[in-house]
């Protein structure tokens, strides 16, 4: 029931068309839903299960294997900031650092031990993902993923 989501998961043809649209810049922003649910709401028959899946901890590893890295970074960072009127940070002396630490080449099996959320309802459990975010440096604080 972890794959019971609204809107529903799409066909491979639809996914391929969306990936192509992001890679060519037709779609310029993407994001992920994150809907943590109690296990009791998902460990039931499909028709009785709540809609939703967590997405934050698997997002980069899922989309990184399909979308070209330069387009992906624009679609999840720069373009949403531009559209929202938020200044895009620069790396320069005297500027406040806003950095994400990640490895786009690392592959790993996504398991419950990878999930920091108290909810474990991920549609990607057991899947091999490529790319992992390790942490951020933001507002003069270093926050590292401890898994």
Grade residue 20 by pLDDT with cuts at 50, 70 and 90: very high
Per the prediction, the chain carries an average pLDDT of 92
Q: Taking a C-beta distance cutoff of 8 angstroms, is the pair 16, 10 a contact?
A: no
The domains of the chain are located at 12-144
Share of the chain above pLDDT 70, in %: 99
Beta bridge partners of 144: 135
Provide the β-strand partners of residue 108. 129
Angle, vertex CA 125, rays to CA 146 and CA 9, nearest 5: 125
Share of the chain above pLDDT 90, in %: 70
Q: Which of 33, 51, 78, 98 is catalytic?
A: 33
Known active-site residue 33: yes
Distance between CA atoms of 26 and 115, rounded to whole angstroms? 32
pLDDT over 60 at 141, yes or no: yes
Residue 147, pLDDT score? 53
Write the CATH number of the domain with boundaries 12-144: 3.20.20.140
Residue 27 is predicted with a pLDDT of: 98
Q: pLDDT value at position 17?
A: 98
The per-residue pLDDT for range 78-130, each reduced to its tens digit, is 999 999 999 988 889 988 888 999 999 999 999 999 888 889 999 999 999 99
């Amino acid at each position: 029931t972890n794959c019971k989501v609204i809107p529903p998961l799409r066909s491979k043809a639809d996914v391929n068309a969306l990936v192509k649209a992001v890679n060519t810049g037709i779609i310029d922003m993407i994001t992920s839903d994150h809907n943590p649910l109690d296990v009791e709401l998902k460990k039931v028959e499909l028709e009785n299960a709540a809609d939703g899946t967590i997405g934050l901890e698997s997002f980069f590893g899922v989309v990184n294997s399909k979308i070209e890295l330069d387009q992906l970074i624009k679609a999840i960072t720069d373009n949403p900031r531009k559209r929202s009127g938020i200044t895009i940070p620069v790396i320069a002396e005297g500027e406040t650092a806003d950095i994400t630490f990640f490895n786009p080449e690392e592959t790993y099996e996504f398991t419950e031990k990878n999930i920091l959320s108290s909810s474990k309802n991920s549609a990607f459990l057991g899947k091999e993902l490529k790319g992992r975010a390790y942490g951020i440096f933001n507002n003069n604080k270093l926050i590292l993923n401890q898994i």
